[in-house]
Amino acid sequence: MHRITLGDFELTILSDGNYRMDGGAMFGIIPKIMWEKRIQPDERNTIPLALNSLLVRTGKQNILIETGIGSKLSEKSQSIYQNQARLLKSFEEAGVSPDEIDVVINTHLHFDHCGWNTYYKDGKPVPTFPRARYYVQEGEWRHAREQHERDRVSYMTDNYDPLVASGQMQLLKGDAEIAPGIAVKVYPGHTRDLQAVMVRSGGRVACYPSDLVSDAKHLDPVWTLGYDLYPLDSIANKHRFYDVAIPEQWLVVFTHDHETPWAYLEIGDKGRPVAKPVGEM
Ligand SMILES: [Zn+2]
């Protein structure tokens, strides 16, 4: 269990387990001969990725950032991604119940970031976190609804439409404060409206940049995901992110890193950002 104190807040990494994605798609234009030095693909060319959620206990509220893949995939999709749907088990291990969650924040609506927003009960999607208010950017939801041929496979309407229809999910227009010490900041690139989550307490900052910097193997600004809709924006926004995250010593939480769920960043020998280990309690 990865847990740390940030000012008055307690931060815990929860996980929906690992899954597998095509290594080429994850590294975009980076040649395999370079990325396979950082992570070894299997015979199907897939690599393991984590589904890390962040639980923030502020003392007044419990905030959950991201909800993994969930339990609603078809058998065929599950055999492709080899996901484990273990987020609720991870809740148990952390001694927290889904009823205790006050706020759920989705950075965007790709299937591997909002899957446990809902689960099927008698064949119908119902909220996994019944008391929570859910948040996402309105632009992201509109794009998801567009079902564009480029990326409609990444969106599963049962993860969000029932929550928007019932009013339980709130659609944001740009940067916003969600609760004291918890804010979202839009960093376009992976999708046009991807939002990072900023956690601030006692003068310290943690940030969950989601697929802007998905894991410690993608720290180099030009190592962007093949899935990114606006790769030039991804590069510009990674620089914008590092320009503050490095001097201000932000704790960076990686959505898809199965080895390093969080790290501080510094500029390494080659002039590029590298991860520094975190001392945990
Ligand atoms: Zn994504």
Euclidean distance between CA atoms 140 and 110, whole angstroms: 10
- Within 13 Å, how many C-alpha atoms sit on residue 221's CB side? 15
Look at residues 269, 268, 264, 106 and name the one whose alpha carbon lies nearest to residue 194.
106
**Alpha carbon of 225 to ligand 1 centroid (Å):** 9
Neighbours of ion ligand 1 (CB under 5 A): 110, 211
**Alpha carbon of 212 to ligand 1 centroid (Å):** 9
Model pLDDT, residue 237: 98
**Alpha carbon of 113 to ligand 1 centroid (Å):** 7
Full-model pTM: 0.97
**Alpha carbon of 147 to ligand 1 centroid (Å):** 15
Identify whether the C-beta of residue 253 lies closer than 8 Å to the C-beta of residue 54: yes
Which tokens hold the place of 63? Answer: 């905030």
**Alpha carbon of 59 to ligand 1 centroid (Å):** 30
**Alpha carbon of 190 to ligand 1 centroid (Å):** 7
Model pLDDT, residue 162: 98
AA identity, residue 278:
V
**Alpha carbon of 114 to ligand 1 centroid (Å):** 10
Model pLDDT, residue 280: 65
Q: pLDDT truncated to tens, each residue of the chain (281 aa)?
A: 899 999 999 999 999 999 999 999 999 999 999 999 999 999 999 999 999 999 999 999 999 999 999 999 999 999 999 999 999 999 999 999 999 999 999 999 999 999 999 999 999 999 999 999 999 999 999 999 999 999 999 999 999 999 999 999 999 999 999 999 999 999 999 999 999 999 999 999 999 999 999 999 999 999 999 999 999 999 999 999 999 999 999 999 999 999 999 999 999 999 999 999 887 65
Euclidean distance between CA atoms 115 and 239, whole angstroms: 29
End-to-end CA distance of the chain: 10
Instruction: Name all domains of the chain by residue range, CATH numbers in brackets.
Output: 3-276 (3.60.15.10)
CB atoms within 10 A of CB 17: 17
Model pLDDT, residue 266: 96
Model pLDDT, residue 41: 98
Q: What is the 3-state secondary structure (H, E, C) of 61-128?
A: CEEEECCCCCCCCCHHHHHHHCCCCCHHHHHHHHCCCHHHCCEEECCCCCCCCCHHHEEEECCEEEEC
**Alpha carbon of 213 to ligand 1 centroid (Å):** 11
Model pLDDT, residue 279: 77
Q: Which residues partner with 264 through β-bridges?
A: 276
Q: Which residues contact 19 (CB under 8 A, 6 or more apart)?
A: 48, 49, 51, 69, 81, 82, 83, 84, 112
Tally DSSP H helices, then E strands, for the chain.
7, 16
Euclidean distance between CA atoms 102 and 4, whole angstroms: 20
